[in-house]
Structure 1
């Protein structure tokens, strides 16, 4: 089936619709929608969704992250580019063969990026959202990753205890009272469980830090993405679990990662 307009006319039409809907990068988004749509009716559907405020990545079915194309479905948390900093810091601490655990994994983007960059890892991931787990299983399948459905570390196999070299978590850290201040794309189209960090934004991080000693190998590392404002409190949570802690930041990406290292290896 062919499109009724010429390619140039179609590009202009889609761009104009997106611009009228308030999309700042209308030209770039138009090219992406056009490349992702194989039929006129599919393009029309995608265009309507995007103009209604749905995240572009959910509309086209994928996100670009750390050099990978991560499959996404509607309602699944969209990986942020700032989280690439977490990947980079984890890669610097890992090696081929590392046991990697991605808690609150969402689409599995972080775990997939670590597996792709480190090579040969034993990869596990977990999330409480069935839609996210289904998405993560698709994204981690090429790396032999096991994705577990359940609350935080509850569904993990017992034989992972004290074996994890890299435990990464982009746990929700937006304080409940600040959820209404998020952009509509996130507030209206991403699951609250992936955004809401409780009254102080630290509720899930607190649980991750408390669980980490059960799973970390001697000398293993826990990496949690957080905000610059919350980083000292996140660091204190890790310190209370006996980890040696440092805070690392990337101002260009507005990214903050707190790293806690367990005893028995280099920090």
Structure 2
């Protein structure tokens, strides 16, 4: 961290506030800590004022007490997704076999490693090569492999019917609503991490359709969803043979859904 005068710090806060940064004082402090010298601080502030996400400038995001490395283009973990972690913790027993799909930076796996009791963290998966590379860095110390691929297709076939927890912060924003997202999201994050198709549930439908093939009896799929989409997604999950339940955290304005594979349910086979 460089030493800056009170005048420079005040000017930085003022620029950030004028640019619409709600937490201008906190952002100024973080940018000062990230800068190597006054020139690099000026560049960071210019980029932030232009709208670049703070997390990309810092190189990390805080999530559930973890400092998660993020790089430009990779989905930045949101504070509200802590509700998904809590929902997963509530339904998952000890020594669970865990896979994270649509992993982005791998933030969920990092959080679950601390929250679950003796989890067996099997893998994380993402279709975006930039996200895969980022997640590999974040999960290296946990020795969790990160696969590049499309949802369950990236996993070893021998895992079918064995997973206790599949967690995914899949994209769920309807395509027509993408323009309503904050500029930081729609201009800088990968579209594949945001666009959920016409009604926002395109990827979640695919997850639901394949989940019973991969979950162990009694295993859970846990996903984040918009509150207005709960009823439709519950129908989708039920039609796939899963037992859905809603987890709502009003303090985070966040909704997660859990879907359990019934213990007596026959698997759907191992065909592709």
Structure 1: distance between partners of 2:17 and 2:36: 22
Match of 2:223 in 1: 224
Match of 2:205 in 1: 206
- Provide Cα deviations, 1:76-128, integer angstroms capped at 9, x if missing partner: 11111111011011112224421111111111111110012225322211111
Match of 2:98 in 1: 100
Q: 1:217 deviation in Å?
A: 0.9
Match of 2:17 in 1: 19
Deviates more, 1:112-121 or 1:238-247: 112-121
Structure 1: distance between partners of 2:18 and 2:216: 53
Match of 1:132 in 2: 131
- Provide Cα deviations, 1:11-40, integer angstroms capped at 9, x if missing partner: 212212211222111111101111122332
Contact 1:122 1:145 in 2 (8 A): no
The answer on 1:148 being equivalent to 2:150 is no
Structure 1: distance between partners of 2:90 and 2:150: 28
The runs of 4+ residues in structure 1 deviating greater than 3 Å are none
Contact 2:17 2:24 in 1 (8 A): yes
Q: 1:44 deviation in Å?
A: 2.1
TM-score for the superposition, normalised by structure 2? 0.92
Structure 2: distance between partners of 1:2 and 1:133: 33
Structure 2: distance between partners of 1:45 and 1:98: 46
Secondary structure (helix, strand or coil) at the match of 1:200 reads: coil
Q: 1:252 deviation in Å?
A: 1.8
Structure 2: distance between partners of 1:235 and 1:158: 27
Structure 2: distance between partners of 1:21 and 1:87: 33
Match of 2:79 in 1: 81
Deviates more, 1:86-95 or 1:203-212: 86-95
Secondary structure (helix, strand or coil) at the match of 1:229 reads: helix
Structure 2: distance between partners of 1:85 and 1:67: 14
Structure 1: distance between partners of 2:151 and 2:46: 36
- Provide Cα deviations, 1:134-187, integer angstroms capped at 9, x if missing partner: 111111112221111011221111222111111111110111001011110111
Deviates more, 1:43-52 or 1:195-204: 43-52
Secondary structure (helix, strand or coil) at the match of 1:64 reads: strand
Number of matched pairs: 263
Counterpart of 1:52 (choices 50, 53, 75) is 50
What's the Cα RMSD here?
1.6
Counterpart of 1:35 (choices 33, 36, 39) is 33
Structure 1: distance between partners of 2:221 and 2:14: 46
Q: Which runs of 5+ in 2 are unaligned?
A: 265-272
TM-score for the superposition, normalised by structure 1? 0.94
Structure 1: distance between partners of 2:199 and 2:25: 39
Structure 2: distance between partners of 1:116 and 1:156: 23
Match of 1:181 in 2: 180
Deviates more, 1:190-199 or 1:14-23: 14-23
